[in-house]
Amino acid sequence: MLLQRIFASVLLLACLSLVAMAWPYQAPFSYEPIGPRAFPLLMLGLMGLALVYMVYRPSPIKHTDEDPPMDRETLTKIGVCVLLLLVFAGLFEPLGFILSSMLVGIPMARLYGGRWLPGAIIISLMSVGLYLLFDKVMDVPLPLGLLDVLEN
């Protein structure tokens, strides 16, 4: 229980330092009515509230039989998942949203028990669909990367 509270306290300090860094940020231009700093501050505020609860909650979080065990296989899956997310972040600009989502999404689906063909089809459709949703409907520009030739 003490380690959980220490972890939550350290994470809360990190959260507060990120709030201090984000608070004075002012973008020279803004395509949103509330500006670009509202979302990070909102997320950090919610995260901070949850961490305050974790520090002061009356009882520790206990492992139940329904929870997956933190064995070697689970930790390996978590590590591979984090690695795939880092690959996605690195390839987002050069390859574009659609290709990087496919490249990371298919191994992610396999990692959690999906089959190759259905996983590839669903991830491909989701990548294109999410691109269209963000770029065309919500007007949030996403990079096309190598598929830039397809744009008018």
| Domain locations in the chain as residue ranges | 1-62, 66-152
Neighbours of 35 (CB within 10 A): 13
**Where does the pLDDT of residue 1 fall: very low under 50, low under 70, confident under 90, or very high at 90 and above?**
low
pTM: 0.62
| Mean pLDDT for all residues in the chain | 84
| Of 3 and 89, the one with more pLDDT | 89
The yes-or-no verdict on residue 129 having pLDDT over 90 is yes
Over range 91-99, report the average pLDDT.
Answer: 90
Cα 105 to chain centroid, rounded: 13
State the SS3 of 54-100: HHHCCCCCCCCCCCCCCCHHHHHHHHHHHHHHHHHHHHHHHHCHHHH
The yes-or-no verdict on residue 48 having pLDDT over 80 is yes
> Among the listed ranges 40-44, 93-97, 140-144, which one has the minimum average pLDDT value?
140-144
> How does pLDDT run across 49-86, given as a tens digit for each residue?
999 998 888 776 676 777 767 788 888 888 999 999 99
